[in-house]
Structure 1
Amino acid sequence: MNDDRPDERDVEEALERLGLSNYEARVFVALHRLGTATAKDVHDLAGVPRSQVYGAAEDLEERGLVELQQSTPKRYRPVSLEAAKELLTARLERERDRAFDSLAELRREEHGEETRDDVWTVRGRKPINDRTVDLIRRAETRILFGAASVDLLSDDVITALREQAAAGVDVNVVSENDAVRNLFTRDADIGVAAPPADSPGDFTGRVVLADDDIFLLSALYEGDGAEATEETAIWSAGTAMASVLTRAAGSGIEAIVGRAESDP
């Protein structure tokens, strides 16, 4: 007995996640084991009711996953694994595109959700990167950006900061991390500084403070999933709460910006 043989139910469940019905998956797996088979052969091997074998096999044939021989009795043969992979991948991509195209049509106007004085929570590095870029690009007069490490500075975030600085927005980058500061030391229109000596030393995330009503603060923590370290952020923009948060940090912003402007 070969202990390394894959579990058929696991394979069937994977095929179901790729869009096949339960019977289609079971018939498809059985046909790959048999090569060429009648409905009775599939029924005997997979335990699928014979009446359901016919329907599942016809559906698989319509999908291009099975070849049909018009004999008596009918005989079925699966297409190659490579062909099946391409067909199922293309189907998934079509379904993905259709779903997201529909979501785009249903989505409300950009910023339309920000009609109340809310603080929003966003989780995950990529969503937080996207929100950080969005908030940076909304700023009209000034931006203070802080990050604990270069891992929190995606190319999109760096580009957004530089574009805003080039457009005349007062941009300052603050970090205890030399590598973060060094990314911007050659940018003449971006202020760079280390935080004041009395700043908390356990900051692990990133911060965006812009204009008088744009705020984002994130923190890193040990995760238990695929990512060893995960990130969660809170943010608000154009709301009374955002104004309170940015004003509360106002004196610290002025101190840090003043330091950045005075550094050679």
Structure 2
Amino acid sequence: MATLRDLGLSEYEARSYRALLRLGPATAKELSRASDVPMGRVYDVLNSLEQWGLVRSQASSRPKKYIGVEPETGLERLLDDRKSELERKAQQYESIVSELSTELDAHRPADEQFWTAAVGADESADLLVERLAAADQRLIMVIGTPSPQFDIGRVSQRVVDRLDEALARGVEVSLLLSPGLVDSIPETVWDDYHGRLVTNDAFEARVDDAITGSFHLIDDVEVCLEVPNPLDPTQAFAMIALTDPGFTSNLRETFDRQWVDAEPLSL
């Protein structure tokens, strides 16, 4: 059950505010008796509630009297304070991430083999966008017929976001698509594509109707491969991220040949 403590009040503050709403105007002594807040603490609690904007006082009366503001107003003030606190925390965490991003350096030996896999649509999409975010120099994406396993609109939007971030880091991006994929991507994604990617000189996209499979090269060192379901080749089964210098070199040669024959993407 929700309580005032969920919005940041202490136990004594919550009890005192509820008591004031019941009592109406009350002295500190009356409030202490009604709320079971010790008399030695009640003035600190009232000062805190005034800072929250939950209590108004009548300073001219002797003894001084207090009254709780209406619940609608009080709760709105507590909510605004919580939102402001969350915004401050978010900014603090963003600053920490920015600082750590420049401090932490992931070393990936180019001559060492390593692979990992993700099974399922969401897990495969997560692995792909994670690896796209790891690019430092060059991203090559070759995408054939889209798998019905993926939500093409949502995945495409996430890919656009990662490509935009990569371009901002100075990464060169080459995108080679099949006509079928171009036709399947929602207009809203293409609008974002035009607004964020096309205007960057480090980005280029082409179309080739000979493309059937999909692979993604990261810095000519790592490749992400979509694995079809052996029981239904039209369905994607998994995504493999593989570091293998010989294999990635062969894929780069394949891409270079296809790129020469491809036509610029125009929408």
TM bucket (normalised to shorter chain) is 0.5 to 0.7
Structure with greater contact order relative to length (CA < 8 Å, sep ≥ 6): 2
Structure 2 residue aligned with 1:171, among 159, 175, 184?
Answer: 175
Structure 1 residue aligned with 2:205, among 179, 187, 190?
Answer: 190
Provide the rounded CA distance (Å) in 2 between the counterparts of 1:128 and 1:54.
Answer: 56
Correspondences of 1:50-65 after superposition (within 5 Å): 50-65=39-54
Indicate whether 1:36 and 2:51 are aligned.
no
Q: List gaps (5 residues or longer) in structure 1.
A: 1-6, 201-206, 220-231, 236-241
SS of structure 2 residue aligned to 1:153: helix
Distance of aligned partners of 1:172 and 1:196 in 2 relative to their CA distance in 1, 3 Å threshold = closer
Root-mean-square deviation (Å): 5.1
SS of structure 1 residue aligned to 2:102: coil
Name the residue aligned to 2:217: 209
Residue type at the aligned position of 1:31: L
Name the residue aligned to 1:21: 10
Would you say the 8 A contact 1:12–1:25 is kept in 2?
yes
| TM-score with structure 1 setting the length | 0.54
Residue type at the aligned position of 2:156: L
State the 1:143 CA deviation. Answer: 1.0
Indicate whether 1:144 and 2:138 are aligned.
no
Would you say the 8 A contact 1:132–1:208 is kept in 2?
no
Indicate whether 1:89 and 2:83 are aligned.
yes
Distance of aligned partners of 1:105 and 1:254 in 2 relative to their CA distance in 1, 3 Å threshold = closer
State the 1:144 CA deviation. Answer: 1.8
Count of matched residue pairs: 220
Point out the structure with max Rg over C-alpha. 2
Residue type at the aligned position of 1:153: S
Would you say the 8 A contact 2:58–2:64 is kept in 1?
yes
Provide the rounded CA distance (Å) in 2 between the counterparts of 1:217 and 1:209.
Answer: 9
SS of structure 1 residue aligned to 2:48: helix
Point out 4+ residue stretches in structure 1 off by more than 6 angstroms: 118-121, 123-130, 232-235
Would you say the 8 A contact 2:19–2:35 is kept in 1?
yes
Q: Residue by residue, what CA displacement relative to the aligned partner does 1:199-250 show, whole Å, maximum 9, x if unpaired? A: 69xxxxxx7422322456799xxxxxxxxxxxx9997xxxxxx642x65455
Would you say the 8 A contact 1:135–1:214 is kept in 2?
no
| TM-score with structure 2 setting the length | 0.54
Residue type at the aligned position of 1:21: S
Give the share of equivalent positions with the same residue, in percent: 22
Provide the rounded CA distance (Å) in 2 between the counterparts of 1:190 and 1:97.
Answer: 35
Provide the rounded CA distance (Å) in 1 between the counterparts of 2:133 and 2:165.
Answer: 9
Provide the rounded CA distance (Å) in 1 between the counterparts of 2:125 and 2:46.
Answer: 42
